[in-house]
Amino acid sequence: MALVEVPARPAPDAPGRLRGALIVAEHHWTWYRRNWRATVVSSVLQPLLFLLAFGVGFGALVDGTGRAATATGGVDYLVWLAPALLAMSAVQTAAFESTYPVLSGFKWQRGYHAMAATPLTGAQIAVGHLGWIGAKMFASGAIYVAVIALFGGVQSVGIVVSLLVATLAGMSVASLVMWFAATVENEGSAFSALFRFVVIPMTLFSGTFFPIDRLPVLVQPVAWVSPLWHATELARSAALDAWRPVAAAGHLAHLLVLLAVGTLLVTRRFARRLAP
């Protein structure tokens, strides 16, 4: 009985760099559109509660003292706070989305390993996930902008630029945190320390709720290296139409450098950890 040879199926062509990253982002979108309710509290409701508590509630007390204008440049505290909360929300979301979900991709669900079994490279997997985080932050930020507009927290169309700045800041932080998460084998105290000693202090002391010149002189240089401070200053100047070109260029350069460095680190780390 003659054996019939079955021709081997040719290996699929490796997708280009951009297409591979988009495939990874599509994977995350497919999951999210079916499970978005699990993350809506942290990504949408939490920043809105911050807005209501600090911008509307506490803001009324601040404006009522008659001394807020010296810190806010003469605008209502809600208008002054809104772009900063937008940046803060993006950074917090980025930090969360870049810790446990990344470790899960390596350790628990091992989705990264499944992707690496295809022609996708480790760098494409990293960039695709980072791009998805950016898209998610932009979408939730757009909802936030619509809500603050209803509460009278938008002074000009510059808030759209603030949204872009917040997304850039979130991606800058996400790239660095993703790299850190990709070096972790057991979450243990690593992520707790990250949130306790980095994310929370950065949230409180980056000019979000009050100008950093109110901080002790010795603490102010620490705030200057915070990506959230640069994002807050840039987003606030855009929302209030208070541009200072040299300062804005410096803030933007800081965020872009962080994103470039973080992307380089995370792509190399993913490629090394997912190497066959």
From residue 8, alpha-carbon distances to 1, 116, 198 in Å are 21, 22, 53
Write out pLDDT tens, residues 2-55: 555 545 454 456 678 899 999 999 999 999 888 887 776 666 677 677 777 766
Split at pLDDT 50, 70, 90, the class of 266 is: very high
Measured at the alpha carbon of residue 162, what is the angle toward residues 198 and 196, in degrees to the nearest 5? 10
Q: How many structural domains does the chain have?
A: 1
Question: Is residue 230 in a domain?
Answer: yes
Question: Is residue 7 in a domain?
Answer: no
By residue range, what is the domain housing residue 185?
A: 19-24+40-65+72-273
Q: What is the token pair recorded at 41?
A: 């509290």
Split at pLDDT 50, 70, 90, the class of 219 is: confident
Question: Is residue 252 in a domain?
Answer: yes
pTM for this predicted structure: 0.88
Question: Is residue 144 in a domain?
Answer: yes
Split at pLDDT 50, 70, 90, the class of 223 is: confident
Question: Is residue 131 in a domain?
Answer: yes
Write out pLDDT tens, residues 125-166: 999 999 999 999 999 899 889 888 888 888 889 999 999 999
Question: Is residue 3 in a domain?
Answer: no
Whole-angstrom distance, CA of residue 83 vs CA of residue 85 = 5
